[in-house]
Amino acid sequence: MKILFSCFLVVLLMGCKSQDFTLVKENELQLNEGVFKEIPPAIADEDTYIQVNLNFNEFDTTKYELLAIYFRNQIIPSEVNEDSFSISGSINKELTLIENVEFPFELQPNEVVLSYKKKNKIKYAKYTIDRKISMDDIPR
């Protein structure tokens, strides 16, 4: 009986832990444009970075608070621009190759998860974004 109770308790705790990062079924925030761009290093000793930008049609800044972006196994500390309804951040491309066991989502290379707060509850929404090609991507 103790073994059965222990198994039940473990399953219950694991279920509660996984619910912390449950994606919303319907995205309340409608994405206008989502892009990522690789920024090559200016000098040889630096690393390549990836800039991620999410621009929304519009959202009520009194109801929603944008928190962070989850992209390529990294949580991106993000800058929020509420005037233009956007959030952006950058990551080191080299660190994306390291598998982070604490990363809560399985994402494709062009998928991003936005965490936001509504009524003091943190929610997670997944979006597909496009790669932006710039003049930096063209070999010289």
pLDDT tens-digit readout, 65-105: 889 999 988 888 778 887 788 888 888 877 654 555 577 88
Q: Please count the structural domains in the chain.
A: 1
27 alpha-carbon distance from chain centroid: 14
Per-residue pLDDT reduced to its tens digit, 23-66: 988 888 889 999 999 888 878 778 888 899 999 988 888 888 88
Q: In whole angstroms, how far apart are CA 112 and each of 14, 43, 139? A: 24, 29, 27
Q: What sign does the dihedral 68-70-71-77 (CA atoms) show?
A: positive
Q: 3 vs 126, which has greater pLDDT?
A: 126
Give dist(CA 111, CA 122) in Å, integer.
19
Q: In whole angstroms, how far apart are CA 61 and each of 85, 113, 117, 135, 140? A: 9, 19, 11, 35, 44
pLDDT for residue 6 is more than 70: no
pLDDT for residue 113 is more than 90: yes
Question: Residues 7-14: what's their mean pLDDT?
Answer: 39
Give dist(CA 87, CA 78) in Å, integer.
6
> Cβ distance 80 to 66 under 8 Å?
yes
Name every residue whose Cβ is closer than 8 Å to that of residue 71 and which is 6 or more positions away in sequence.
36, 50, 52, 91, 107, 112, 113
pLDDT for residue 22 is more than 80: yes
> 92 - beta bridge partners?
49
Output the pLDDT for position 83. Answer: 79
Range of the domain at 21: 2-137
CATH number at residue 100: 2.60.40
